[in-house]
Amino acid sequence: MKPHIQVTASRKTGTISRYIYGQFAEHLGRCIYEGVWVGLDSDIPHKNGIRQDVVEALRAIQVPVIRWPGGCFADEYHWKDGIGPAEERKTMVNTHWGGITENNHFGTHEFFELCQQVGAEAYINGNVGSGTVQEMQEWMEYMTMGGESPMANWRRENGQEEPWKVEFFGVGNESWGCGGNMRPEYYADLYRRYQTYVRQYGTDRVYKIACGANGYDYNWTDVLMKNAHAYMDGLSLHHYVVPRTWDDKGAATGFPEAEWYSLVENAKSMDELITKHSTIMDRYDPEKRVGLIIDEWGSWLNVEPGTNRGFLYQQNTIRDAMVASLTLNIFHKHAERVHMANIAQMVNVLQAMILTEGEKMLKTPTYYVFDLYKNHMDATKIDAIGTTKETTDYTVSKKGNTITASFCNYHLTEEDVVVLDIADFDIRTITAEALIGKVMDDHNNFENPENIKKEAFHDVKQEQGTVTVKIPPMGIVSVYMEGVEPNQY
Ligand code: AHR
């Protein structure tokens, strides 16, 4: 008996925010330097110092928002060191990430240039751990003040006439750990104080995000919501998955079968986490006004042999693509509460979209999941009901005249045949695309950068009112059904 999934186009259950597809770019390893910023004198094709192959790839997946400058780095970052003539900028030691000297050539102006080139909105993470309230206030004034003011004038002197738009502002990062080792009661009070000075200088409202819990720390969420929910728009949550243990996470390639399953099964823990944190938030915020912002997530694996341990450079395989697909499906399920998510990280760090080596660049399997899922951004969730094999997962949404059903089958050897029973929708055309692993650590490298990529998919059959999809093992498939709802005639 084939699994049947009922897809009733009229059963709409909310909107999937495009911000769920956000990215995170930290001053860590080769994410910013080399991955994004090559500088004004580079031979690598760039515009104003930002490499164009990376920008083009990011534009193609319609990145909605970029979180910057960290991460742990954010709580050591002093924004005034990163403005003005590049050669006069103060250097600093990036103590968290490899102890290297940071030259501050990529600062506030360069970040907004990146956002503008990519077409993304800005999520700035402020410094609570080692920064002052005044410093945070002046950063907001520098970025967003339109009229006359000391900071706005200084911005103009540095070449930017118009204020920028800061859509999201995070008040500290991991304040329970690298951001200051605080207790939740102490941080809640600091949050209330710091956020007061994250002023809105123009008419654009800034969405303020409080530092949230580390994974399963439900007490942190309870204390923050109890003491500060009225002052926040979002509360963050960080959750990474490993196939083994935190001390020896496991290799990114060449891993045993057991670690395929342990990593993808661990990815499902995101569902439990969101459910439990959200239940606590419901007690203080039943309307779900405050968003749960998963601003760091993804797979964390051992670094590539021979690379700096502090640079967190890991390969990316079809197994990571499965983690991305399963996790995005969970975010869709909880879309009322999950207002934004930012995979860690955008280039060359952890579960990256893109890897670079000198002038070479490649797109990872995770990149192609974001590509296959593009249609779900700002789409209406369709409540699809059905039971599949345990190793198959799916999500369905509708945008414009197109219903998109995305599936992942993480079984290593067995295909899965799923029948969609379509109601309240007359299909006119169907197309599909897929990402399919040939081996469980299928990946791209600089010798073979297109070994695995998105391709057209044809194992989709339409019969009266049904659509049958044969999902290959290690396959992620998006089916695009274009048509009309009967009430649209
Ligand atoms: O993404 C890498 C690091 O993981 C971030 O800097 C920090 O916030 C988290 O612990």
| Side chain identity, residue 393 | D
Q: Of 72, 99, 78, give the one whose Cα is nearest residue 90.
A: 78
pLDDT of residue 469: 97
Q: Exposed/middle/buried for 172, CB within 10 Å: 0-12, 13-18, 19+?
A: buried
Q: Which of 23, 24, 26 to mutate to test the pocket of ligand 1 (most atoms within 8 A of CB)?
A: 26
Please report the atom of ligand 1 found closest to the CA of residue 72. 6
Q: Specify the pLDDT at position 487.
A: 76
Same domain, 167 and 66: yes
| Helix, coil or strand: residue 386 | strand
Ligand 1 site, residue 442, Cβ cutoff 6 A: no
Mean pLDDT for the chain overall: 97
- Compute the residue count for the chain: 489
Alpha carbon distance 122, 249 (integer Å): 32
In the chain, the number of structural domains is 2
Question: How much of the chain, in percent, has pLDDT values that exceed 90?
Answer: 95
Query: Prior bond to 14 cis, omega within 30?
Result: no
Domain that holds residue 299: 17-377
pLDDT more than 70, % of the chain: 99
Q: What DSSP string describes 61-99?
A: TT--EEEES-SGGGGG--GGGGSS-GGGPPPEEETTTTT
Centroid of ligand 1 to alpha carbon of 72 (angstroms): 6
pLDDT digits (tens, 9 = 90+) for 129-159: 999 999 999 999 999 999 999 999 999 999 9
What confidence score (pLDDT) does residue 489 get?
A: 63
Same domain for 482 and 442? yes
Q: How far apart are CA 350 and CA 307, in angstroms?
A: 13
**Residue 387 pLDDT > 90:** no
The closest alpha carbon to 485, from 6, 4, 12, belongs to: 12
Does the structure show a pLDDT above 90 at 164?
yes
Half-sphere exposure of 43 (CA within 13 A, CB side): 3
Q: Whose CA is nearest to atom 3 of ligand 1?
A: 71
In the block, residue with structure tokens 């930002």: 50
Residues 322-353 as b/e (b if ≥16 CB within 10 A, e otherwise) read: bbbbbbbbbbbbbbbbbbbbbbbbbbbbbbbb
Q: 434-471, pLDDT tens digit by residue?
A: 999 999 999 999 999 999 999 999 999 999 899 999 99
Cα separation, 295 vs 54, whole angstroms = 21
Q: Residues 416, 328: one domain? A: no
Ligand 1 center from residue 289 Cα (angstroms): 26
Nearest CA to ligand 1 atom 6: 71
Boundary of a domain, candidates 377, 399, 430: 377
What number does the ligand 1 atom closest to the CA of 71 have? 6
Task: Answer yes or no: are the C-beta atoms of 100 and 145 closer than 8 Å.
Answer: no
- Ligand 1 centre to CA of 210 (Å) is 16
- Label residue 253 by pLDDT band (50, 70, 90): very high
For residues 372 and 400, state if they share a domain: no
Contact 243, 266 (CB under 8 A): yes
- Residue 171 beta carbon below 6 angstroms from any ligand 1 atom: no
299 lines ligand 1 (CB under 6 A): no
% helix, strand, coil for the chain, step of 5: 30, 30, 40
User: Token pair for residue 344?
Assistant: 């860690």
- Is the pLDDT at 486 greater than 90? The verdict is no
DSSP codes joined into one string, 425-459: -EEEEEEEEEEE-SSTT-B--SSSTTSS--EE---
Say if residue 235's pLDDT is above 70: yes
Q: Nearest to residue 223, comparing CAs of 179, 192, 177?
A: 192
CB 457 within 8 A of CB 477: yes
Q: What is the 3-state secondary structure (H, E, C) of 236-249?
A: EEEEEECCCCCCCC
The sign of the dihedral angle between the CA atoms of 77, 79, 81, 87 is positive
pLDDT digits (tens, 9 = 90+) for 367-380: 999 999 999 999 99
| pLDDT tens digits, 195-232 | 999 998 988 899 999 999 999 999 999 999 999 999 99
- Report whether pLDDT(413) > 80: yes
Residue 88 buriedness (CB in 10 A; 0-12 / 13-18 / 19+)? exposed
Return the CATH number at 216. 3.20.20.80
467: domain CATH number is 2.60.40.1180
Pair (373, 265) in one structural domain:
yes
- The reply to whether ligand 1 has any atom less than 6 angstroms from the CB of 70 is yes
- Amino acid, res. 476: I
How many angstroms separate the alpha carbon of residue 24 from the centre of ligand 1? 10
Phi-psi region of 433 (alpha: psi -120 to 50; beta: other; left: phi over 0): beta
Give the separation between CA 136 and CA 426, rounded to whole angstroms: 54
Q: How far is CA 431 from CA 428, 454, 477, in A?
A: 10, 13, 11
The residue whose C-alpha atom lies closest to atom 4 belonging to ligand 1 is: 71
Quick one: 307 and 407 in the same domain?
no
Radius of gyration of the chain (CA): 22
Residues 369 and 389 in one domain: no
What 3-state DSSP class applies to 37?
strand
Same domain, 368 and 391: no
Residues 88-127 have pLDDT tens digits of 999 999 999 999 999 999 999 999 999 999 999 999 999 9
Residue 309 pLDDT level (bands cut at 50, 70, 90)? very high
Contacts 24+ apart (CB under 8 A), 355-361: 355/315, 355/316, 355/444, 355/446, 356/30, 356/34, 356/35, 356/51, 356/54, 357/446, 358/44, 359/43, 359/44, 360/446, 360/449, 361/51, 361/53, 361/54, 361/57, 361/449
Is the C-beta atom of 76 inside 6 A of ligand 1?
A: no
Same domain membership, residue 129 and residue 69: yes
Reported confidence tier of residue 250, pLDDT bands at 50, 70, 90: very high
Q: From 238, 240, 351, give the residue whose CB has the most ligand 1 atoms within 8 Å, as the site to mutate.
A: 238
Query: Rounded distance, CA 128 to CA 78, Å?
Result: 11
Residue type, 76: E
pLDDT band at 423 (very low <50, low <70, confident <90, very high): very high
**Residue 26 Cβ < 6 Å to ligand 1:** yes
Q: Whose CA is nearest to atom 8 of ligand 1?
A: 71
The verdict on 265 and 409 lying in the same domain is no
Q: Produce one character per residue of 201-237: b if its CB has 16 or more CB atoms within 10 Å, e if not.
A: bbeeebbbbbbbbeeeeeebbbbbbebbbebbbbbbb
Looking at the structure, do residues 361 and 413 belong to the same domain, yes or no? no
On whether both 313 and 410 belong to a single domain, the answer is no
- Model pTM? 0.98
Contacts of 423 (CB under 8 A, 6+ apart): 6, 7, 8, 9, 10, 465
Higher pLDDT, 467 or 13: 467
Calculate mean pLDDT across residues 330-352: 98
Residue ending a domain, choose from 360, 377, 394? 377
Cis bond upstream, residue 345 (ω within 30): yes
Annotated catalytic residues are 174, 296
Domain boundary among 377, 396, 421: 377
